[in-house]
A = this chain, B = another copy of it.
Amino acid sequence: GINPDLASERQTASFSVEKLTALLDGGAERTRIRRAVAEAIERDPVFSRENQYFQSQNERYEAAVRKAVHLQKKMHEMGWTQDGPEFKYIYRALSGDVAFLLHNVFVRSISVLGSDKQIAKWIPLATKYRLIGSYAQTELGHGTYLQGLETTAVFDINTQEFILNTPKISAMKWWPGDMGRSATHTVVFAQLYVLGKCYGVHPFIVQIRSLQDHSLCPGITAGDIGPKMNFEHTDNGYLMLQNVRVPRENMLNKFCEVQPDGTYVRQGSQKINYFTMTTVRISLIEDEVLIALLKACTIAIRYSVVRRQSKLKPGEEEAKILDYQTQQEKLLPQLATGYAFHFINSYLQGLLERGYTEIKRKNFDTLPELHAFSSGFKALVTQYSTSAVEICLRACGGHGYSLLSGLPSLYTRILASCIYEGENTILFLQTARFLIKCFMAASAGQPVPPSVTYLAALTPGKCPAKNKLDFLSPDTYTAAYQHAAARLVSSTAAKLQDLIQSGVKRHDAWNQCTVQLAQAAKAHCHYLTVKNFVETVEKLETQAGIQKIMKHLCDLFALHGIFSNTGIFLHDGYISGAQMDMVTASYLDLLAVIRKDAVPLVDAFDFTDKSLNSALGSYDGQVYQRLYEWAQKSPTNTQMSPAYERYLKPLLHNKLSKL
């Protein structure tokens, strides 16, 4: 049965949970499809994650491969296709615990970077799994800075081959997924040399393992990079190349080609490469980050109404921990952040689709803004979400620290998102570069994209709020965010200019401003997230109950951001100390309001128990029973330890000297 402490939370929902779920999914029909996919996956024992927290890295890898192979059969059996409406829900249903993700990147990179001939040759082989692909870009010594890659591909005009080498240990490919133990082929990024001249980094298809017996090909050294904080299911690998020869046709040549005589030809726009990165950064927000954040909120909030600890009022029964202001202040802002990021994700998807439509018309004008957006939001969303998951974990006390809570693995996995696909600080600085450019242009009266016109409109005004209720006006707080972001951009631009004018070289000046530039970029993205949340809430006018609670969450997200960053609003007096006390009062008031709907708000995310895989977060709230039952399945209980016979018995029986 349902734990009564959890059941009672559901009886007082101020809105329809089912309707909110449909809103989040983008319509009731999509909810239906998503649930059908989840059910089909979860009913199949091959996809079970039941013992995941007990498995070694080797066991996790084997399970992930088993699932990936089985998925091919399952899709055939269910009639799901890569283009069908079900496809996007499969990864969520598997909780990402599956192999061959880099195989998909291999396919995508050939589709984007390969010629029609190359596509015709390789894509069918990959799609039918006549080979398993990987994507070998990152090296032991180089990650984000691709120009620094040290692997070489030298064109041999006599044999019409490229000779690939990793000339030193730091040049070794390191981290590529699916490469450590599975892949037969990979796309290797290497510095192209033709007739002694270096043409920069290019992609080459290289076979690394035999298709017959999976043994390593001549000149190839490869293996697994060993234990990581998470991603045990993925065989992140290393790869050394010693005089490995591939035919001229194996350089992906949609945009660049080496002709038989050694002539290097560049054709088409390279800007499209940005677009691939942009796509990946935006897609990971939903697949890897948002889902983890929403799961963590679900687990921590459900647990916080089941856990009772200490007394709020003398003589009463112990209180649910979610009734403590400090617990509300930990969890509810994370919940609001989850909704804010859900809506910004929808916004980014829309932006991406429109951008893609333009690109297909050969119009690349939106690319710089799209690149700046995807960089900054990847950084903002991964950073805030990682922090949010950690808060959820800690807010569950000791039990949150048990792997059985599900929270540690959510945390250790989401943490990686701050690092991969562009390190966050570097990404913020890319956004900052765009902002400074736009600020300069706007100040000079030149046109800039609509999202940044506000930068030029900075005035020394003051926040007009007179009481705490005024801070529940979206106009009031949106204006405050806009002001703060514009001030940070303009003051950093001014510092940069001052340094340069005082004789500091441009690159040194830039470096001396980077801490503040990153702050400015973050403030810009935070402002847009608030603005988008406000606009989303406005559009919900036909659903009064949902609009009301979404308005509360929007207010909470906005005021939490001010409460947690008071300095940037107080700095120039835009918000006064007295006004900040009003912000604090409204913010704390909101916690008590949203607390009443906290459980319905996480129920609306509609995660199944199997998907949460958490002893603390299940729908029925039977927390203690489940912790106890799951613990008993642990290998620490099911396997006898030799420690007693070997060490404890001789110690206790005073026979240590015989050891």
Residues of A within 8 A of B (CB): 53-54, 56-58, 61-62, 65-66, 68-69, 72-73, 128-132, 138, 140-145, 148, 169-170, 172, 174-175, 180-182, 184, 211, 214, 223-229, 235, 238, 307-310, 312-314, 318, 324-326, 329-330, 390, 394, 397-398, 400-404, 408, 412, 415-416, 418-420, 423, 425, 429, 505, 507-508, 511-516, 518, 565-573, 577, 580, 584, 588, 624-625, 627-628, 630-637, 639, 641-644, 646-652, 654, 656, 659
In the complex, are the beta carbons of B572 and A577 less than 8 A apart? yes
In the complex, are the beta carbons of B227 and A404 less than 8 A apart? yes
Q: How far is the CA of A356 from the CA of B418 in the complex (A)?
A: 46
Closest chain-B Cβ to A602's Cβ sits at a distance in Å of: 21
Q: Which residues of B contact A572 (CB under 8 A)?
A: 577
Q: How far is the CA of A287 from the CA of B425 in the complex (A)?
A: 33
In the complex, are the beta carbons of A631 and B394 less than 8 A apart? no
Q: Which residues of B contact A65 (CB under 8 A)?
A: 643, 647-648
Q: How far is the CA of A518 from the CA of B330 in the complex (A)?
A: 12
In the complex, are the beta carbons of A181 and B636 less than 8 A apart? yes
Q: How far is the CA of A310 from the CA of B514 in the complex (A)?
A: 15
Contact of A624 among B140, B513, B636 (CB under 8 A): B140
- Interchain Cβ contacts under 8 Å between A and B, 22 examples: A61-B636, A62-B646, A69-B659, A72-B651, A73-B656, A128-B654, A132-B651, A140-B627, A143-B309, A145-B318, A148-B318, A184-B652, A214-B652, A224-B631, A229-B408, A229-B412, A238-B628, A325-B512, A330-B425, A394-B415, A400-B419, A401-B419
Q: How far is the CA of A512 from the CA of B325 in the complex (A)?
A: 6
Q: How far is the CA of A313 from the CA of B402 in the complex (A)?
A: 48
Q: Chain A interface mostly helix, strand, loop or mixed? A: helix
Contact of A567 among B223, B228, B567 (CB under 8 A): B567
Q: A643-B62, A648-B132 are in contact. Are A398 and B570 (CB under 8 A)?
A: no
Q: Which residues of B contact A412 (CB under 8 A)?
A: 229, 408, 412
In the complex, are the beta carbons of A148 and B309 less than 8 A apart? yes
Q: How far is the CA of A314 from the CA of B214 in the complex (A)?
A: 44
In the complex, are the beta carbons of A507 and B314 less than 8 A apart? yes
Q: A580-B567, A654-B130 are in contact. Are A398 and B138 (CB under 8 A)?
A: yes
In the complex, are the beta carbons of B62 and A398 less than 8 A apart? no
Q: How far is the CA of A425 from the CA of B180 in the complex (A)?
A: 43
Closest chain-B Cβ to A189's Cβ sits at a distance in Å of: 16
In the complex, are the beta carbons of A53 and B227 less than 8 A apart? yes
Q: A132-B648, A226-B631, A325-B511 are in contact. Are A625 and B169 (CB under 8 A)?
A: yes
Contact of A140 among B69, B401, B628, B639 (CB under 8 A): B628
Closest chain-B Cβ to A75's Cβ sits at a distance in Å of: 12
Closest chain-B Cβ to A90's Cβ sits at a distance in Å of: 18
Q: Which residues of B contact A654 (CB under 8 A)?
A: 128, 130
A62 to B, closest residue via Cβ: B643
In the complex, are the beta carbons of B639 and A325 less than 8 A apart? no
Q: How far is the CA of A635 from the CA of B57 in the complex (A)?
A: 8
